[in-house]
Structure formats: structure tokens, C-alpha cells
């Protein structure tokens, strides 16, 4: 019987569109008999034929060429096998998971819940100066991360491998249920990311400044300002709800 596991996934794409995936990588994180989470040996990657040319903009990021994916299977033929492995998963995870969810729809995942390691990093490590996957890697230097296995960056398996180390440490610091709950909400930013108060912690802002930011178009910014207003007992006009993931057509 397989131990409880979460599958971390990362996608590289050919551009926009519902069939734009050109590579998927995965790395499993499982729980041992002592309740500790660890990376296991189940990892891999697969090239995918997006059915159209890869844009120069995305090739400049991941360096996957049209010739590399010409004979690869299509997304609809491989997604379910990766996202619904034998034995199942407790959840799927990705860094800024909303991107992966655009392509890893319930049709392919079977409705598995998602952990967003970006949103969870904001909660678990609010003192970090940046929360990108690679910046967390070098700020934190996770134990056991083999440098070469995390390269090259911006390829699906190395990125999933790096994200899995962040997830492992999050799961050993907070419960799975807590990570899932944080992932369902917008990101709780530890500091103001833009404007005249950029870089300030929320408790240093005036109530008027918070109310202004609580009307921002960015759901993460709104949610963070609203959370501080509620902490002060001043409330907010409305509570930000994470929008349902939209499917690309």
C-alpha cells in the first residue's frame, strides 16, 4: 500500500490556449510512519505536443523547441495518468498553482484539492524578501536539495523538485488541512507590494490607506488590506473571495 502522498506538478507551455502544455514534471512528497513528510523516489517528466508552434517568448524561458515535442503525445492523452496516479493522491501542489489549474482541470485531476506553495510560503515564512520558487530556494537552502537535480530552472521536473522541498518543509511546519485552507484564500501578503507605502507591514498603515487598498483590483492586495482592517476591529466593506478558476477556451 502506498504511503499518503501529494504530487507536486509543474508545467511548461507553448503560449496561451487550452492545449498549450509542452511539458509536465512531477515530484511526490509522502508521509512516513512517524508522520513526517519527505520527498520520495516517484518523480518524472514528459514532453507534450501542444498541437501548435511554441512561441519565441516561451522558448526563451524553457528552451523547448517544436522539434522536441513533434512526436510527443497530446495533453488530453497523458494528463490523467500523471495527475491521477495509481493509489491516488491526497492533493496536488504547485507554486502559484492557479497557473497549473488552468490546464490541470477536474476532468484530468478527478477533483483533487490543490495546495499553492506560493500562498503558503507567505504564511509560513513571512519574513522572506521574495516568494518566487527559485528565490525561496536560495533564501532557505532546503535540507537535502541536490543542486543539480534542481537545474535547469524553468524546466518542469527541476522546478517541481524544488517546489517539493518547500512543500515538505511547509507540511512539517503546518497541517495539510491548514495548507489547503490557505490555498483556497487569496495570498496574504506580509508587506505592501506597491504604491507610496511599498515595503511597509500592514500594521503601519493608516485605516484610510487600508480602505483604499481594500478596493484594489488585485485580490491578494484587497484580501491583505481587509485582513488588517478586521484585525483592528474596523471591518471592511466586503470580504475578498478567491475567484473560481476560469477555464481557458
Nearest to 131 by CA among 123, 122, 140: 122
Question: In the structure, what pLDDT confidence band is assigned to residue 246 with cuts at 50, 70 and 90?
Answer: very low
How do the domains of the chain map onto residue ranges?
Answer: 5-184, 186-249
pLDDT of residue 3: 74
Tens of pLDDT along 179-210? Answer: 999 999 999 999 999 999 999 999 999 999 99
Homologous superfamily assigned to 5-184 = Ribonuclease H-like superfamily/Ribonuclease H (3.30.420.10)
Ramachandran angles phi, psi of 43, nearest 5°: -145, 160
For the chain, give the mean pLDDT.
93
Tens of pLDDT along 112-167? Answer: 999 999 999 999 999 999 999 999 999 999 999 999 999 999 999 999 999 999 99
Amino acid at each position: 500500500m502506498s504511503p499518503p502522498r501529494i504530487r507536486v506538478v509543474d508545467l511548461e507551455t507553448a503560449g496561451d490556449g487550452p492545449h498549450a502544455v509542452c511539458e509536465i514534471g512531477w515530484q511526490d512528497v509522502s508521509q512516513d510512519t512517524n508522520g513526517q513528510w519527505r520527498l520520495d523516489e516517484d518523480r518524472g517528466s514528459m514532453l507534450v505536443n501542444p498541437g501548435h508552434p511554441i512561441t519565441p517568448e516561451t522558448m526563451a524561458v524553457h528552451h523547448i523547441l517544436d522539434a522536441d515535442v513533434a512526436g510527443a503525445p497530446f495533453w488530453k492523452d497523458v494528463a490523467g495518468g500523471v495527475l491521477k496516479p495509481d493509489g491516488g493522491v491526497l492533493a496536488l501542489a504547485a507554486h502559484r498553482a492557479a497557473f497549473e489549474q488552468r490546464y490541470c482541470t477536474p476532468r484530468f485531476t478527478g477533483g483533487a484539492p490543490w495546495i499553492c506553495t506560493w500562498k503558503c510560503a507567505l504564511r509560513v515564512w513571512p519574513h522572506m524578501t521574495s516568494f518566487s520558487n527559485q528565490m525561496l530556494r536560495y533564501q532557505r537552502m532546503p535540507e537535502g536539495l541536490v543542486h543539480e537535480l534542481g537545474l535547469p530552472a524553468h524546466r518542469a521536473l527541476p522546478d517541481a523538485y524544488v517546489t517539493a522541498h518547500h512543500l515538505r518543509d511547509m507540511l512539517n511546519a503546518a497541517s495539510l488541512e491548514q495548507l489547503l485552507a490557505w490555498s483556497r484564500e487569496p495570498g496574504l501578503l506580509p508587506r505592501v507590494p506597491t504604491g507610496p507605502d511599498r515595503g511597509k507591514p500592514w500594521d503601519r498603515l493608516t485605516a484610510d490607506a487600508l480602505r483604499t487598498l481594500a478596493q484594489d483590483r488585485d485580490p491578494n492586495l484587497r484580501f491583505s488590506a481587509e485582513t488588517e482592517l478586521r484585525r483592528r476591529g474596523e471591518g471592511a466593506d466586503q470580504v475578498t473571495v478567491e475567484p473560481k478558476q476560469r477555464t481557458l477556451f
